[in-house]
Chains A and B, each alone.
Chain A
């Protein structure tokens, strides 16, 4: 065969590059489908086809390294098709890594640079997967099925996220189970134990970890981190209902210890990820920053902001327009700086959504339901500090949708609906606010059923309910301890009501609402500020203490004569124009047990706070001003006083406590 002329070769290379780009996009699309559904055979076939033709093109233009890599990739896909290798999360990561690598290498080809060494690492990784599969494809599928079985029984690898920190009735336990000597089927034994306790609490973590256990690293002793409202005696009984147990040692521990442990584990993961990414990155377009440095940066930014405000105050005493001009410039840079700081904190929301497809599949299966799960993320990014909380909130809403929303296949057929239910999550950002919608096409929430449950639970009387609108009745699901689940399953039976969602959302200064229509479906909408760095707040004084209340929580400020207070059963109320109900009022100073706050003045100053339909007034000594404050999280404070969500340092150096009026417990 006559060799190609240089011109012909260049033409072919150009074609390879332009078609390659299209192929790359197609490859990425298929990987995204596979990420959602590891068993999508059509996507696999398509992926195989594209890579195969890409390989042929690379061979034609004599890009040997490309060809070799694509060949290896292709054989991996065929192993997956033959079910000799199962797709795993790390493999999906590897697929995405491959796309990045091909893209980078094509850019190099464009610039006539050598790509000889580009594929060495990834080839090794692919070959390793293939090697492992030769020996253990059967074992791998066994392991992965075992993992599924554990997951279906409430033990998952990421399950620390499922712990609940704001329900004091749920106690934390560290359980040590010592098995009898020489027992044979330890994994099966662990599954029996897990199943015995899963319905009565949350199994958060085991030591050894599940991954290690599946690798056979399980000895006689297993530790379980467990959260439950049951006593240690009850739990011990449930565990020893299983055979082959020598001893159970159970210690109750406190939320703080667990929280610290969780943070340590997360930091450890972060560190190992950082190391890994350093090892594998050759082309540096971004650097990893450890979280401590990032926190420091934000803290320093806060300090700078405070100092400039101090300077501005001080400067107002002098007539120096020239210095004022410089200060003005500094402040405008500070605003730009702030944007950057906020951006650095942002991480893609998709990272926390990754575990959901599997969860949806598992839970749906348990519930005998079929669900088409779709996420439209639109590249939304959120503050890393709220990321995990967002994950927990969505997790609850999803589980709720699967458990209570979507009907079983049988029910849906009877109703003339598509047998497969649909859950769609939509996330978007508008005006610095994050919207998360969880939509299902299930049975909807029937106000009649909610009313019945509310009466049964003794929350309301029939008389009281008769004055409520359907919407008000439906919103009762957000009340603590409200659940319409008729029987306890391991999905709904964990005491996780919608009230937890509401609490979590509100702890992030957000709101949650819902739209529902019987037998059409339900949409929950969560609205959250994307960043927690700065908030606009009103500063108020009670006694000697200055408090900050987020502007979002404040309906209005009032100054009214003390005679306007109406005492009903010795409880103080005020009447507000435009509001049909009387509004309950409280002395802020009394709520925080302060001394020397002003009582019995002729006029009183009231901050009217509202969140949803919940509204009340806080009596303060003084309205100081509106200000932008930098939130500093202070753990000690949180522990000490209910309703304190952080602290802010003011221009004069004094500390203002940021209060969340709806968590004071009034």
Chain B
């Protein structure tokens, strides 16, 4: 019955942190992807309730992935995870259809609070 989450991030370290925080709070991590293309494919296959998306990834950016996922499902709920100094990219991601963003380094409460709000 829980909420299914897909994590898209090229850094294993970040994926692990997110996984830990999210599964600790009772969410199901139904998929992980380390490139934008993998993320798009995983969305198609697994239809998650929620996606966390890194912006800077090799080859294709998170912004491209957001656009592609939105084209598959206009209601897709995507949270952008960004590093500092990428404000324009974050804004592009929001314009592409991401619902909200969080800035690295992540704070546990912040992430959980945001996801709770968006999946409500």
Point out residues on A near B: beta carbons under 8 Å.
142, 145-146, 149, 152-153, 184-185, 187-188, 191-192, 195, 241-243
Contacts and interface: CB of A to CB of B under 8 A. Distances in A.
Which of B87, B110, B113, B114 lies at the interface centre, i.e. has the most chain A CB atoms within 10 A of its CB? B87
Nearest to A141: B88
B84 A184 contact: yes
B90 A149 contact: no
B117 A191 contact: no
B101 A188 contact: yes
Contacts of A149: 91-92, 94-95
B103 interface: yes
Given A187-B91, A191-B91, A195-B95, 14 more contacts: A142-B88, A145-B92, A152-B95, A184-B84, A185-B84, A185-B87, A185-B90, A185-B103, A187-B87, A192-B94, A192-B100, A192-B101, A241-B117, A243-B114
Contact of A184 (B95, B103, B118): B103
B92 A185 contact: no
B68 to A, nearest CB: 15
Interface string B100-120: 111100000010011001100
Contacts of A152: 95
Given A146-B88, A185-B87, A243-B102, A153 B95 contact: yes
A372 B100 CA distance: 35
Contact of A191 (B82, B84, B94, B103): B94
Contacts of B91: 146, 149, 187-188, 191
B86 to A, nearest CB: 8
A243 B120 CA distance: 14
A243 B90 CA distance: 14
B87 A188 contact: yes
Interface residues of B, number: 19
Contacts of B103: 184-185
A42 to B, nearest CB: 28
Contacts of B92: 145, 149
5 contacts: A184-B103, A185-B90, A185-B103, A188-B90, A243-B110
A185 B92 CA distance: 13
A149 to B, nearest CB: 5
Contacts of B95: 149, 152-153, 191, 195
- Give the top 8 A-B pairs by smallest Cβ distance, nearest first: A188-B90, A243-B114, A185-B87, A184-B103, A149-B91, A142-B88, A188-B91, A149-B95
Interface of B: 82, 84, 87-88, 90-92, 94-95, 99-103, 110, 113-114, 117-118
Contact of B94 (A142, A145, A184, A188): A188
Contacts of A146: 87-88, 91
Nearest to A153: B95
A185 B118 CA distance: 19
B100 A243 contact: yes
Contacts of A153: 95
A243 B95 CA distance: 16
A242 B102 CA distance: 11
Contacts of A243: 100-102, 110, 113-114, 117
A243 B103 CA distance: 11
Contact of A145 (B88, B99, B102): B88
Which of A146, A188, A191, A241 lies at the interface centre, i.e. has the most chain B CB atoms within 10 A of its CB? A188
A329 B100 CA distance: 73
B42 to A, nearest CB: 25
B100 A242 contact: yes
Which of A146, A242, A243 lies at the interface centre, i.e. has the most chain B CB atoms within 10 A of its CB? A243
A191 B84 CA distance: 16
Contacts of B84: 184-185
A192 B82 CA distance: 14
A195 B84 CA distance: 21
Contacts of B118: 241
A192 B94 CA distance: 7
Contacts of A142: 88
A185 B101 contact: yes
Which of B82, B103, B110, B113 lies at the interface centre, i.e. has the most chain A CB atoms within 10 A of its CB? B103
A244 to B, nearest CB: 8
A515 to B, nearest CB: 36
Nearest to A143: B88
A243 to B, nearest CB: 5
A110 B92 CA distance: 54
Nearest to B110: A243
A640 B103 CA distance: 53
Contacts of A184: 84, 103
Contacts of B113: 243
Nearest to B87: A185
A243 B117 CA distance: 8
Contacts of B114: 243
B97 to A, nearest CB: 9
B74 to A, nearest CB: 10
Nearest to A190: B91
Contacts of B90: 185, 188
Contacts of B101: 185, 188, 192, 243
A273 B6 CA distance: 54
Nearest to B90: A188
Contacts of B102: 243
Nearest to A185: B87
Nearest to B104: A184
B27 to A, nearest CB: 17
Which of B88, B99, B110 lies at the interface centre, i.e. has the most chain A CB atoms within 10 A of its CB? B88
A192 B102 CA distance: 12
A186 to B, nearest CB: 8
Contacts of B88: 142, 145-146
Nearest to B89: A188
A657 B117 CA distance: 56
A187 B99 CA distance: 15
B78 to A, nearest CB: 12
Contacts of B82: 185
A88 B63 CA distance: 27
Contacts of A145: 88, 92
A184 B87 CA distance: 9
Nearest to A180: B110
Contacts of B117: 241, 243
B80 to A, nearest CB: 9
A286 to B, nearest CB: 42
A583 to B, nearest CB: 51
A364 to B, nearest CB: 16
Contacts of A242: 100
Nearest to A145: B88
A317 to B, nearest CB: 75
Contacts of A195: 94-95
A454 to B, nearest CB: 28
A187 B86 CA distance: 11
A194 B84 CA distance: 21
A71 to B, nearest CB: 34
A145 B103 CA distance: 21
Contacts of B94: 149, 188, 191-192, 195
